[in-house]
Amino acid sequence: MGNQVKTTILLAVLTAFILWVGQFLGGRQGMVVALILAAGMNFVGYWFSDKIVLRMYGATEITSDRSPELFAMVEALARRAELPMPKLYLIPQETPNAFATGRDPGHAVVAVTEGLLNMMEKEEVMGVLAHELSHIKNRDILIGSIAATLAGAIMLLANMARWAAFFGGSRGNDDEGGGSGVFGLIIMSILSPIAAVLIQMAISRSREYLADSSAAKITGDPKGLAGALEKLGSYSAKIPLHASPSTAHMFTVNPLSGQGLMGLFSTHPPLEERIRRLLGSGGSSGMVPNRQAKSGNDFWDRLSRG
């Protein structure tokens, strides 16, 4: 199934889910409100989701003057991938991770955390960057950005359900086909975010395998990304990244791994399987997850001095 078809299916299912939640909360009137919300979120998701996500994580733009080595690395990888140079952003968090966003390759953004630049070897940073560029090349970034926006709308409706339960239940009536008691609203407020993540899972997992494979072709060395994945998994468990469940699918490695109930609903395949496929064997990459990057590869020191 083509990526465009998958995109259409995901957006249709998420939009239908928003309408169903609206109908559940307020009958036909609630459904109309939810329809307007879904249409508005689709519009915002297409044109502004990249800016919303970057602002959510306090990301700041990285220029060639600020970090020439990192900028040159991304330029070289983008040429190999036959892509225009994306904008680069830095996320002020210690957990190593990265994501790509934007509506098309001509308006793409790659965002990396401070931790990624501090804790990874040069080859591992290249592997992660190539992975994110692969998402851009494979047209995954629009679906990820819009899915994050629509999932955010579902979270908003879930919060509305909690408030409706607090004030005694929905005002919908049986004739309109909507309305529910306090208990139903509480169940809705709990299950809606989980359902949104499950819908995202149905699409995003296969795209991670494809991005890993494409990244190995871009760099010519699968070991760099394999080693990075090992470290990313280890550090994510030790240094939690403050991430929203609605955007978890956008990152190279699921930032919510091991963080309560939402960690059970991972939008990413198991790291062990991703590494195994990259290396073409059943073994580990052989790298030590806790090994610190050499000082010569510490991009953030040079970025700070710039």
Catalytic residues: 132
Alpha-carbon span 306 to 303, nearest angstrom: 5
Alpha-carbon span 245 to 152, nearest angstrom: 9
Quick one: tokens of 194? Answer: 């989980």
Q: Count other Cβ atoms within 10 Å, centred on residue 74.
A: 25
What is the residue-wise DSSP string for 243-295?
Answer: --GGGGGGBSS-TTTTSSGGGGS-SS--HHHHHHHHHTSSS-----TTPPPPG
Q: In what order do the strands lie in the sheet with 87-91?
A: 60-62, 87-91, 109-113, 98-101
- E strand residue ranges, 41-93: 60-62, 87-91
Whether the Cβ atoms of residue 110 and residue 86 lie closer than 8 Å to each other? yes
For the chain, counts of helices (H) and of strands (E):
9, 4
Cβ-count burial of 171 within 10 angstroms (0-12 exposed, 13-18 middle, 19+ buried)?
middle
